[in-house]
């Protein structure tokens, strides 16, 4: 099957009115990634060599988003919504290119995994013309039933059309299917709209293919794989399922999560073995963590790279561009943004480091601030190897603190400090005996 070409047609034209949102439904995020992008990733992992997005509501917004998560995808607009078969045929141009397999998927099923799709493709490789993906929900009420005879799928029956015996069938239609490319357009073109809604239903190709004597089968995916999102409550349910899967993957890969249910990953979080994550930690997009790292409780990370054996938090915020080198430490109530903290450097508490470099082995005292913004532009602070910055110091960028430099506590530093120099930048203390009582 690995040599078979595959086109994934992803239907993403629905308005999603139940989301109560101006944004297209499929752009609502799971783990920081639009749900339709999760579908794209699953298709690609299952071997899809081509992608066709069928869009409608929010056309320009969808195209702009697709450039990020599926830059090579072709987009097709379903101008009027006349059913699922009609939607698939909006991608006629892509389907006609001669792919071996056509995967038909929905942009609002973000939990579908590559294995379920690959299983359906395998059935095509074995000779089936159509392979429908089914699932067994806890309660089948409301779902179309998969009617099988002799190991073959003969029909997909909507519940309102089911007999009492058919209503007892627990095997239901997930909506997704794989169709042999050589049959796809012919079968789709035969779908009619002689029904109450006057729509063209994709499910009709099961009986059409059967009538032609073609082999039609059903494969089974988990209930979670088939979960469709129609409102914000279901979006939250899908998020919870995704997070539970990812937490388990992390723990089985050697990561310790003290309270797994309180840790939230993003779709692209990378985290190495022997890392310990304490409760209530949030990983935003773009976080890469090496091995042996400790992330203390209530820390918030995004766009961050952390090397081996670092320590972060508790209550630390690492913003995009934070780069911690080996054995660096960023402690409690510290914020680091667009800055490198080099090997063994310590930013222990109550400190802001932005647009800066903290040299190897340097120590940043409590309450230190790099004053990187003058209201118009950002400027850089360079703190040399082994420097010591005393508590409550303000380093007004652009400024350089040389290797081994020492900044006295409470200083405001506006000029660069040479290597091994001691710098004071504070007003001289004046004490007036007996005057204090007049101030009370």
- Asked whether the beta carbons of 138 and 223 are under 8 A apart, the reply is yes
Q: Which of 379, 358, 378 is nearest to 368 (CA)?
A: 358
CA 199 to chain centre: 34
Q: How far apart are CA 55 and CA 16, in angstroms?
A: 12
- Asked whether the beta carbons of 333 and 316 are under 8 A apart, the reply is yes
- Asked whether the beta carbons of 282 and 265 are under 8 A apart, the reply is no
Q: How far apart are CA 325 and CA 376, in angstroms?
A: 30
The residues near 212 (Cβ < 8 Å, ≥ 6 apart) are: 129
Write down how long the chain is: 440
Q: How far apart are CA 22 and CA 230, in angstroms?
A: 14
Q: How far apart are CA 346 and CA 382, in angstroms?
A: 15
Q: How far apart are CA 89 and CA 37, in angstroms?
A: 21
413 membership: H or E segment, kind and range: strand 412-413
Give the number of other Cβ atoms within 10 Å of residue 146's Cβ. Answer: 26
- Asked whether the beta carbons of 6 and 48 are under 8 A apart, the reply is yes
Strands 145-149 and 152-157 turn out to be antiparallel
User: Facing residues of 77 across strands?
Assistant: 55
Q: Please report, to the nearest 10 degrees, the dihedral formed by the alpha carbons of residues 47, 273, 29, 44 taken in order.
A: -10
The residues near 432 (Cβ < 8 Å, ≥ 6 apart) are: none
Cα four-point dihedral sign 84, 86, 87, 92? positive
At residue 248, what are phi and psi to the nearest 5 degrees? Answer: -60, -45
Q: Is 349 a catalytic residue?
A: yes
Q: 434-440 contacts: CB < 8 A, separation 24 or more?
A: none
Rg (Cα) of the chain, in Å, rounded?
A: 29
From the candidates 28, 183, 296, 349, give the one annotated as an active-site residue: 349
Residues labelled catalytic = 349
């Amino acid at each position: 099957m690995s040599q078979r070409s595959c086109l994934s047609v992803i239907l993403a034209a629905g308005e999603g009115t139940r989301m109560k949102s101006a944004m297209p439904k499929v752009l609502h995020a799971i783990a920081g990634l639009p749900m339709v992008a999760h579908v794209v990733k699953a298709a690609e992992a299952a071997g899809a060599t081509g992608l066709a997005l069928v869009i409608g509501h929010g056309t320009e917004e969808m195209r702009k988003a697709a450039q990020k998560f599926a830059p090579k995808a072709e987009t097709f607009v379903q101008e009027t919504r006349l059913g699922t078969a009609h939607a698939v045929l909006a991608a006629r141009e892509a389907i006609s290119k001669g792919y071996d397999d056509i995967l038909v998927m929905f942009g609002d099923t973000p939990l579908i995994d590559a294995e379920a799709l690959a299983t359906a493709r395998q059935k095509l490789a074995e000779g089936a013309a159509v392979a429908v993906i089914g699932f067994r929900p806890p309660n089948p009420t409301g779902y179309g039933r998969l009617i099988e005879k002799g190991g073959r799928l003969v029909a997909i029956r909507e519940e309102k059309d089911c007999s009492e015996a058919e209503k007892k069938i627990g095997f239901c239609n997930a909506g997704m299917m794989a169709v042999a490319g050589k049959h796809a357009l012919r079968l789709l073109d035969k779908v009619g709209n002689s029904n109450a809604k006057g729509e063209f239903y994709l499910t009709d190709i099961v009986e059409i293919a059967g009538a032609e004597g073609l082999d039609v089968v059903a494969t089974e995916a988990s209930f979670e794989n088939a979960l469709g999102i129609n409102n914000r409550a279901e979006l939250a349910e899908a998020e919870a399922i995704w997070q539970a899967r990812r937490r388990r993957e992390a723990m089985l890969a050697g990561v310790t999560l003290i309270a797994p249910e309180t840790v939230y990953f993003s779709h692209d979080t990378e985290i190495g073995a022997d890392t310990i994550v304490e409760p209530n930690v949030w990983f935003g997009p773009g976080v890469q963590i090496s091995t042996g790292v400790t992330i203390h409780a209530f820390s918030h990370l995004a766009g961050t790279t952390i090397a081996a054996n670092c320590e972060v938090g508790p209550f630390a915020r690492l913003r995009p561009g934070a780069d911690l080198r080996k054995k660096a430490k960023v402690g409690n109530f510290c914020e680091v943004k667009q800055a490198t903290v080099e090997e063994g450097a310590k930013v222990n508490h109550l400190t802001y480091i932005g647009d800066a470099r903290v040299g190897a082995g340097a120590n940043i005292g409590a309450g230190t601030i790099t004053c990187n913004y003058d209201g118009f532009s950002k400027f850089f602070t360079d703190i040399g190897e082994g420097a010591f910055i005393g508590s409550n110091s303000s380093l007004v960028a652009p400024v350089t603190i040389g290797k081994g430099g020492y900044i006295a506590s409470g200083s405001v530093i506006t000029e660069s400090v040479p290597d091994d120099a001691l710098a004071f930048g504070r007003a001289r203390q004046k004490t007036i005996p007996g005057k204090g009582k007049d101030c009370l």
